[in-house]
Chains A and B, each alone.
Chain A
């Protein structure tokens, strides 16, 4: 895969960088560590934010502001006349592919436009391909890696080593396989209950068919799966009765006109007694059919148990209004206009952890209680126990008036979703009473039927009974044929849902196992590099071995010390100081970044050494330069370091110009003035100073002159290796110039006194008697102390000339090129 370095970055009108019409241009070397130093407030962070904005389309610090503060309105520099931010990035490939230029603009009205001057067809996609966690790292990222929870660290680590897509999908599968989600989204549990209830009902119908068949046909062992045979047998039994044979004809019991058959029997030997016997026979059958089954009472006990669980859950979570309040809070925290995930929108308290998971957990408790209520209603609707109460109360032979039927009021309550524990307990008692009443009624009806049968001719009694049973057979068969097909459809669907449930659970487990194994491989891959690097970064490092371990069956990553001065398996978070913790984070980040093979091949590090002392700072820089840099090692990265640290500035200065280091120093006056790289801009500083002073604009030209003077003096000190006081860089800004001039003039005097000064006599004289006094007298004294004559444009133009003349005192003309060159040292050309 082609990977890309950041070749250059050009910024105008973004955050603290105004640079109207004259953008800040930063150039980076692919095979060197690139450092950028700037004092506080000069615009270093704006550079980091510009790269972030280009790649991600946002500025994290502004995104975190409350809506009322309108963070996005601060993306474009407030003083830029065109009110447009422009960021140009040039990316250089590591395999000779053409470079890619991307331009990102943001106008004052918020429109972001991405284009490619080099003609890349999909510049947005290219920028998206750079969205890797290691590319932009600041101090906060380092500090966070150690202090977050094991799960957050695991996910952060996954992202760092290029496994974020795996982590996201793993979480997605976890959600998709969760039983609660499947039950509510796919309706699995509801369908399961529905199918079971229907199966029980169908089984009762089957029993009625078999019982009626056996009674009519006088045979046992009927099988419901041979329904056609059963119909034939019942039809044959009816045809065998001479009185009924003409009515059955060549048809089936299913087509028999039972009304006509009853009339025929009545006509043969009629009267009220036969009708009554028929009614009693029906009553005996219906009362027998509604007898209490084994599971009826148990079903009501189960419902009472569910209701009690529901009641307890509701009592635990408290007031319903609190539920609504929490939901409102979640909506606010989850909204795009809420930028601080740890701040409570109700009391505005600042927590240590994001609020959203807590709110979701609390709401989930309410939802769980509400879901228990909804489940109870569903269960009540399909309950066989309640259905039995309904059936018993509605059976005509039970002779229960409508007003006395308990189930009527309960059915109404179910429709309103109001199922109480007390109602269910009443129903259970009622069912018991109904069963006793049914048994008594059955006994009575059987007694009456027997008495009546004794008074009727035996042959017709039997015919009447057979006809009644045949009718029951027919009715049950019709019911069976109506109920069975839709049930089969539901059963097929249930089987399909269960098949999915099994599939997704297995798929999720397969993915999780593979993801865990992959993460462990990655950890193993970087572990040694990480420990070696940590050993190089900190004092005492070799005796401390930080070790990442991935927990089984979870995404948690623990950070332990495998070896802590002889002790093993201890918490890194508990034992290490802040700087050591950050060194561990640096070792983890850098080791992980080195193992990446994705599109970006650069890291931008913004003030990552804030908690380090000078020794640790230099150790980190040395590791970047010698162990991790592209050019030093085959898989190395390009590093771009942003720093305000004065100690590091010395280190950067010392290495600048070598093959493995490229240093740039920022100067300027943001957010109104220009921000520049000092080395590139010296001539422009002079030109700006001249232009404004010639126009009499002392207030504007003066600061340019100061920057130009500071640059030239610094250049002389650097080029000739002039010794300076140890604290020269840390003195106040106002003393910088005289510190520089004193260092230079005193060093010249010293070398002159020793008879070893390489400057000519004329140069020494000009320096000591003209140029230095002129610069100090006409500018530095007044600038630093406010004493002496105030500036005027004419005098400052003279100072500008003296600066160049002073610099010339440290140069000679090279015979070969006829060009001016600085002496190598004060005692050597």
Chain B
């Protein structure tokens, strides 16, 4: 996958999303549902606390995934 020079950030992010969805659509959904928690407006990237908040949301997403799997099995 390559980002295109003329694309907007949103369009390149869509390319990235399509790529990771091929690898694991359910994990990709969890990632993109909670991407806003990582994409914070600081020069140094998200703080450790922000990553912690992101992981809390990931845990919640994975729990729901597990419950859904148990319900169908």
Interface positions of A (Cβ within 8 A of B)? 155, 159, 164-176, 181-182, 185-186, 492-493, 496-497, 499-500, 503-504, 506-507, 510-511, 514-515, 517-518, 521-522, 525
Contact = CB atoms under 8 A, between A and B. Distances in A.
Chain B interface residue bracket vs A? 35 or more
A171 B46 contact: yes
A interface secondary structure, majority? helix
B45 A510 contact: no
B23 A507 contact: yes
Top 8 A-B pairs ranked by shortest CB distance?
Answer: A171-B45, A185-B55, A172-B38, A503-B27, A518-B3, A175-B51, A514-B3, A507-B20
B37 to A, nearest CB: 9
Nearest to B41: A168
B9 A510 contact: no
B16 A175 contact: no
Contacts of B19: 510
A171 B3 CA distance: 17
Contacts of A499: 24, 27
Contacts of A525: 5
A60 to B, nearest CB: 14
8 contacts: A166-B9, A168-B40, A172-B54, A173-B38, A174-B45, A499-B24, A500-B27, A517-B3
A503 B38 contact: no
Given A168-B43, A492-B70, A514-B3, 10 more contacts: A168-B46, A172-B38, A175-B45, A185-B51, A185-B55, A503-B28, A504-B31, A514-B2, A514-B16, A518-B5
Q: Which of A181, A503, A517 has the most chain B CB atoms closer than 10 A to its own CB?
A: A503
B1 A514 contact: yes
A496 B66 contact: yes
B42 interface: yes
A500 B58 contact: yes
Interface in B5-49: 5, 9, 12, 15-16, 19-20, 23-24, 27-28, 30-31, 38-46, 48
Contact of B56 (A185, A492, A510): A185
Contacts of A522: 5
B45 A182 contact: no
A506 B1 CA distance: 12
A153 to B, nearest CB: 12
Interface of B: 1-3, 5, 9, 12, 15-16, 19-20, 23-24, 27-28, 30-31, 38-46, 48, 50-52, 54-56, 58-59, 62, 65-66, 69-70
Nearest to B38: A172
A426 to B, nearest CB: 38
Nearest to B9: A165
B24 A185 contact: no
B5 A493 contact: no
Contact of A510 (B5, B16, B55, B65): B16
Given A169-B38, A173-B38, A185-B52, A503 B5 contact: no
Nearest to A522: B5
A186 B30 CA distance: 14
A487 to B, nearest CB: 15
Given A507-B20, A514-B16, A521-B5, A176 B39 contact: no
Given A165-B9, A168-B40, A176 B51 contact: yes
B66 A175 contact: no
Nearest to B27: A503
Contacts of A518: 2-3, 5, 12
Nearest to A598: B8
Nearest to B15: A514
A489 to B, nearest CB: 8
Contacts of B44: 171
Q: Which of B3, B28, B40, B41 has the most chain A CB atoms closer than 10 A to its own CB?
A: B3
Q: Which of A167, A176, A515, A522 has the most chain B CB atoms closer than 10 A to its own CB?
A: A176
Contacts of A504: 27, 31
A384 B69 CA distance: 32
B54 A496 contact: no
Contact of A492 (B50, B54, B59, B66): B66
A29 B69 CA distance: 64
A500 B1 CA distance: 20
Nearest to A178: B51
A492 B63 CA distance: 11
A175 B5 contact: no
A167 B45 CA distance: 8
Nearest to A159: B43
A506 B24 CA distance: 10
Contacts of B12: 166, 514, 518
B41 to A, nearest CB: 8
Contact of A168 (B24, B27, B45, B66): B45
A515 B3 contact: yes
A492 B24 contact: no
B52 A503 contact: no
